[in-house]
Structure 1
Protein backbone atom coordinates (compact mmCIF):
# COMPACT_ATOMS: atom_id res chain seq x y z
CA UNK A 1 0.00 0.00 0.00
CA UNK A 2 2.84 2.37 0.71
CA UNK A 3 4.13 2.21 -2.87
CA UNK A 4 0.78 3.13 -4.37
CA UNK A 5 0.42 6.08 -2.00
CA UNK A 6 3.55 7.62 -3.56
CA UNK A 7 1.88 7.53 -6.99
CA UNK A 8 -1.07 9.60 -5.76
CA UNK A 9 -1.25 13.20 -6.88
CA UNK A 10 -3.09 16.04 -5.09
CA UNK A 11 -6.78 16.53 -5.87
CA UNK A 12 -7.27 12.80 -6.52
CA UNK A 13 -9.37 10.27 -4.64
CA UNK A 14 -8.33 6.86 -3.33
CA UNK A 15 -11.15 4.36 -2.92
CA UNK A 16 -9.86 1.53 -0.73
CA UNK A 17 -11.89 -1.63 -1.41
CA UNK A 18 -9.53 -3.89 0.53
CA UNK A 19 -10.38 -6.03 3.52
CA UNK A 20 -7.67 -4.57 5.71
CA UNK A 21 -7.03 -4.24 9.41
CA UNK A 22 -8.42 -0.93 10.75
CA UNK A 23 -4.98 0.32 11.87
CA UNK A 24 -3.52 -0.17 8.38
CA UNK A 25 -6.52 1.53 6.80
CA UNK A 26 -6.07 4.54 9.08
CA UNK A 27 -2.34 4.74 8.27
CA UNK A 28 -3.03 4.65 4.53
CA UNK A 29 -5.71 7.33 4.87
CA UNK A 30 -3.35 9.57 6.85
CA UNK A 31 -0.53 9.03 4.33
CA UNK A 32 -2.53 9.94 1.24
CA UNK A 33 -4.41 12.79 2.95
CA UNK A 34 -1.05 14.32 3.92
CA UNK A 35 -0.31 14.44 0.16
CA UNK A 36 -3.57 16.30 -0.57
CA UNK A 37 -5.38 13.18 -1.78
CA UNK A 38 -8.92 12.28 -0.68
CA UNK A 39 -9.60 8.88 0.85
CA UNK A 40 -12.73 6.73 1.07
CA UNK A 41 -12.85 3.36 2.81
CA UNK A 42 -15.18 1.15 0.73
CA UNK A 43 -14.96 -2.51 1.77
CA UNK A 44 -17.28 -5.09 0.30
CA UNK A 45 -20.18 -5.77 2.66
CA UNK A 46 -20.25 -9.28 4.09
CA UNK A 47 -16.51 -9.82 4.30
CA UNK A 48 -14.18 -11.80 2.10
CA UNK A 49 -15.61 -15.27 2.66
CA UNK A 50 -19.32 -14.46 2.77
CA UNK A 51 -19.60 -12.44 -0.45
CA UNK A 52 -20.98 -14.62 -3.23
CA UNK A 53 -22.51 -12.22 -5.73
CA UNK A 54 -22.14 -11.50 -9.40
CA UNK A 55 -19.60 -8.82 -10.36
CA UNK A 56 -22.40 -6.39 -11.29
CA UNK A 57 -23.97 -6.50 -7.82
CA UNK A 58 -21.18 -6.04 -5.28
CA UNK A 59 -22.59 -4.33 -2.17
CA UNK A 60 -20.32 -1.51 -0.94
CA UNK A 61 -20.25 0.45 2.29
CA UNK A 62 -18.58 3.85 1.72
CA UNK A 63 -17.07 5.82 4.59
CA UNK A 64 -15.22 9.08 4.13
CA UNK A 65 -14.63 12.53 5.51
Structure 2
Protein backbone atom coordinates (compact mmCIF):
# COMPACT_ATOMS: atom_id res chain seq x y z
CA UNK A 1 0.00 0.00 0.00
CA UNK A 2 1.36 3.41 -1.01
CA UNK A 3 0.83 6.60 1.01
CA UNK A 4 -1.06 9.60 -0.37
CA UNK A 5 0.97 12.59 -1.56
CA UNK A 6 -1.72 15.01 -2.89
CA UNK A 7 -5.52 15.19 -3.05
CA UNK A 8 -7.64 17.28 -5.40
CA UNK A 9 -11.45 17.51 -5.38
CA UNK A 10 -13.40 18.88 -8.36
CA UNK A 11 -17.05 19.37 -9.24
CA UNK A 12 -18.25 17.57 -12.37
CA UNK A 13 -17.97 20.89 -14.22
CA UNK A 14 -14.22 20.91 -13.44
CA UNK A 15 -14.14 23.57 -10.73
CA UNK A 16 -11.49 22.84 -8.09
CA UNK A 17 -13.09 22.99 -4.63
CA UNK A 18 -10.34 21.43 -2.50
CA UNK A 19 -6.60 20.82 -2.73
CA UNK A 20 -4.15 19.36 -0.21
CA UNK A 21 -0.42 18.92 -0.82
CA UNK A 22 2.00 16.79 1.24
CA UNK A 23 -0.68 14.58 2.82
CA UNK A 24 1.83 11.80 3.66
CA UNK A 25 -0.68 9.30 5.10
CA UNK A 26 -2.56 6.19 3.98
CA UNK A 27 -6.08 7.54 4.65
CA UNK A 28 -7.53 11.02 4.52
CA UNK A 29 -10.84 12.62 5.49
CA UNK A 30 -12.10 16.09 4.55
CA UNK A 31 -14.44 17.58 7.14
CA UNK A 32 -14.62 21.10 5.70
CA UNK A 33 -16.75 20.24 2.63
CA UNK A 34 -20.47 20.89 3.10
CA UNK A 35 -22.62 17.90 2.11
CA UNK A 36 -24.88 18.88 -0.78
CA UNK A 37 -25.86 15.67 -2.66
CA UNK A 38 -23.44 16.43 -5.46
CA UNK A 39 -21.17 14.39 -7.68
CA UNK A 40 -17.48 15.10 -7.07
CA UNK A 41 -14.29 13.91 -8.72
CA UNK A 42 -11.50 13.01 -6.29
CA UNK A 43 -8.01 12.81 -7.76
CA UNK A 44 -5.45 11.17 -5.46
CA UNK A 45 -1.74 11.28 -6.28
CA UNK A 46 0.27 8.62 -4.47
CA UNK A 47 3.90 8.94 -3.33
CA UNK A 48 5.03 6.63 -6.15
CA UNK A 49 3.44 8.93 -8.75
CA UNK A 50 0.39 6.79 -9.53
CA UNK A 51 -2.87 8.70 -9.87
CA UNK A 52 -6.23 7.32 -8.72
CA UNK A 53 -9.41 9.12 -9.76
CA UNK A 54 -12.81 8.38 -8.19
CA UNK A 55 -16.27 9.77 -8.80
CA UNK A 56 -18.29 10.06 -5.57
CA UNK A 57 -21.69 11.35 -4.47
CA UNK A 58 -21.31 13.56 -1.44
TM-score, structure 2 normalization: 0.34
Higher helix share: 1
TM-score, structure 1 normalization: 0.32
Higher strand share: 2
